[in-house]
A and B are shown apart, each in its own frame.
Chain A
Amino acid sequence: MRWFETPSIDFNGKRKIAYILSAVLFIASLGAILTKGLQYGIDFRGGKEFVLDFENPVSVVELRSDLSEPLGSTPELKLFGSDSEILIRTDNEQEIAVVQEIISSTVRELHPDNPFNVVKTDVISPRFAEDLKWGALQAVIYAIVIIFIYILIRFRNWTFSAGAVAALVHDVVIVLGIFTILGDLVPFSLQIDQALIAAFLTIVGYSLNDTVVVFDRIRENSNVHKGMDFMPMVNKSLNDTLSRTVITSITTLFVVLVLFIFGGEVLKGFSFALLIGIVLGTYSSLFVASSLVVELEQRTNKS
């Protein structure tokens, strides 16, 4: 079977359309993040989380109002996988044992015929959450800086570094935007926590993987076809590697989809981020990274 054996798609010619699409997505994402704010999970803002596994399905709305008064504030409730598992998050500042007792006794009293187990608890002090957030931010920044430097060393051209990093920022911001917008619309948690930072860095790694393969081909082609103009050469390189880009994206998408479906509730947000990230990463290495390199090359050559 052969797909895209000798394609001749005019990627750079279509880059104006890609710019518009990317700009719209990017601005919409930034807008959503700025107006709605990032939806931090417990890792990054602290608090207490309990997962209750009931014998029979329960109503989230009912339970939320049941618990509001005893806890002193309205807790956040979400289904955790099935409709008999509930995740409760509260900012109540008392000792964990006290809070757990408040929740357990209230629920037991109001739903005596529906026994439950507390299967998971997480407590993060706000101070610790602050440290985790700082660590995550550092990780993302260091990743971008190191990638910039590595590409600079390998390809000896800052426009390649800039193109790759711009594509990465593009990918991460849009995934963040989609998470912010979809946060309340999907039945699983899309809050930003440590696992999600891991997903982001994986997306960064993946998107970069694609980009670097294309850059590598550009470098090779520029040695083979010395007389060729830069833009057609970039286009040829994109077409040369297209088959590989698509196949790798497909196999990776397969496994991420499997993870999303079979991986359990704990990994839902994580695999959802990867799912969007891989599609975006493939798109950005085809349309954003190389186009920006072309753009930057043309500017610097003129001046």
Chain B
Amino acid sequence: MQGNGFKIGTIVAFLALTIYYLYPTVQYQLEQNYIEDLSPSETAQYTEENAEKLESLRSNILSLGLDLQGGMHVTLEVGVPQLIRELAGENADQLLNDVIDVADQRALENNSDFIDEMVAEFESRDPDARLSRYYRNDAMDITRRSTNEEIATFLKTQRQSALDRAVEIIRTRVDRYGVTEPSIVKQGQNRIVVELPGVEDKERVRNLLKGTARLEFRLAADAEEFRSFVNQTYEYYDSFEQPSDTADSVVNNQFNPLDEVLVPAQNPYLFGYATPEDTSRVMDLLRTEEVQRMMPRNTTVMWSANPLPGQAGEELYQLIGVRTQIELTGDVIEAASVQFDPATNVPEVSMSMNSEGARKWGRITGANIGKPVAIVLDGFVFSYPNVQTKISNGRSSITGLDGIGEAEDLVNILLSGALPAPLEIMEERTVGATLGAESIQAGLNSILVGLGIVAIFMIVYYRTGGGIADLALLLNIIFILGILAAFKATLTLPGIAGIVLTIGMAVDANVLIFDRIREEQRTGKTIKASIEAGYANAMSAIVDANVTTFFVAIILFSFGVGPIKGFAVTLMAGIVASLFSAIVITRVVVDYLTQAKKSAVSFG
């Protein structure tokens, strides 16, 4: 036993730490079990009385990944090209747009930095030209004389701050929406990873995350001009023959493709109605060069945000003619709240503007009495009410919403501020709670069965030694969980797989040691000497083997995403824990049995 004092000390310390870190998890689970047995009213009372305690427990538990508890994992990308384009503002020209498009493509192909590619592309077109002509900014010390290098640095700072701002805005929105324990982190230069446990309404969350809240007030198109444009377009497609590569073209050659996808409208400001599946085909037909040429000046078409019910109960979206010019933007909105229309009790968003906005709004409404004004959010028309009178108090409202949920989300988005650049969903993974629960059960079963089989095998093969190794194995699993809890890592399904794998590989160190002890015994050494030599001689192989595996785990951690990171973390924790339990714990037990108890330890 001499010399083992330090080892025993470490084991006790390690165990104490593990218990300390796992205590909240166990306690929380017990509380949950207790709450489950209560009646609903008792539950409410109990959770309220113990809110603080439960909260503090929950913030320290070993949390489960989204693949186990169900929820939504979204990776968003800040549209850097758009951001850079908008930073140039009115200075942007065709050259800059071309350069941005080329750089975007190239950054994707070469996996390189967009801004570096952009500067390179710009310089390759004209080595003497300066980007500073687009980005003069006195506040940021960017003058006409700034070098392209300085501009690149400036743009990168802008990108960074846009990302930071986007994260803040997303956080505000998620918090207002009310998700327990959301996680919002930056990834790389332009991505944001959002994890939302237990989210039910996915579409609502998508809109919440992506909503740039670009609110615009636009005048409707000129009724007469727009009507004649609609008629011309129909005439144009009347004379249109179906492409000859389809088989029934001969039969159908008097066919108007617009009729296939669009329901005509009476309202002079409407091009027509279409079902959600057809909207993209309608746009294809309207985007052709010939149709664009017929489009009245300063006019464009936009879809309504929410559908109207059609005759057969189908959903129909309206295609509305509006001006290209934006009269007023959401910057002027000072406050927003959900209100209910006193007559119909339908929810709407009521907004008030700052003084400058109110002045402009008064002028616009005053000059357009009797005509519609379109209220556009993120490219979709929410409503286009007719102006009744001049509005001088800066009030306006968004109607035509799809229920209270949408109204609340809109207020949320408007108040949390506009995103600096559009966000695009790059990756979205959702797992239902039931599938998650099944995965937990499957993982648990695997751990128990795996542990059982390995434990029995070890005892059969190594006798007492095997039993000691099994004890180490059991502690090993508890240590892994403790390490995960201590580092606030999340347990994912691949993570559980990592634990199961560790069960198989953790005994490796003991196999190496025990085999070595047997070998030493064969050379005629006493059991005590054999144990001594066995542990000593096996050490270098154990260290080498585990260090290399640890490297692999680190690499996996650095390059993996989401659940794979979880796997790498458990693998690392598993290596550390198994080295400790296989080398230190088994040694102490073996020494204790051979020396203090004088019992014969058999290694089979």
Contact = CB atoms under 8 A, between A and B. Distances in A.
Interface stretch (B359-367, B404-412, B450-458): B450-458
Given A146-B555, A209-B549, A266-B439, A125 B560 contact: no
Contact of A120 (B108, B111, B435, B563): B435
**Main secondary structure on chain B at its contact with chain A?**
helix
A121 interface: yes
Contact of A217 (B280, B446, B541): B541
A123 B428 contact: yes
A53 B433 CA distance: 13
B556 A128 contact: no
A138 B560 CA distance: 10
Contact of B505 (A121, A130, A209): A209
B120 interface: no
A217 B439 CA distance: 41
A58 B224 CA distance: 56
Given A132-B561, A263-B442, A121 B430 contact: yes
Contacts of A248: 504-505, 507-508, 511
Interface string A91-102: 000101110011
B494 A154 contact: no
B500 interface: yes
Contacts of A19: none
A124 B493 CA distance: 20
B542 to A, nearest CB: 9
A209 B563 CA distance: 24
B431 interface: yes
Interface in B432-463: 432, 434-435, 438-439, 442-443, 445-446, 449-450, 453-454, 457-458, 460-461
A127 interface: yes
Contacts of B567: 195, 198
B11 interface: no
Contacts of A127: 108, 426
B599 to A, nearest CB: 20
A119 B431 contact: yes
A1 B461 contact: yes
Contact of B435 (A102, A119, A128, A143): A119
B553 interface: yes
Given A154-B544, A255-B500, A147 B551 contact: yes
A51 B430 CA distance: 10
A250 interface: yes
A258 B452 CA distance: 11
Interface in B91-109: 108
B601 interface: no
B576 interface: no
Interface string B538-564: 001100111111011101101111111
A213 interface: yes
Interface in A202-219: 202, 204-206, 208-209, 212-213, 215-217
15 contacts: A97-B203, A98-B277, A117-B434, A121-B428, A123-B427, A125-B425, A128-B77, A130-B108, A146-B555, A205-B548, A208-B545, A212-B545, A256-B501, A264-B493, A270-B497
Interface of B: 67, 75, 77, 108, 111, 202-203, 206, 276-277, 280, 424-432, 434-435, 438-439, 442-443, 445-446, 449-450, 453-454, 457-458, 460-461, 493-494, 497, 500-501, 503-505, 507-508, 511-512, 515, 518-519, 522, 537, 540-541, 544-549, 551-553, 555-556, 558-564, 567-568, 571, 604
Given A197-B560, A204-B552, A215-B544, 4 more contacts: A121-B428, A121-B429, A254-B504, A262-B445
The 8 closest A-B pairs by CB, nearest first: A264-B442, A255-B504, A252-B504, A139-B559, A128-B426, A119-B432, A205-B552, A255-B450
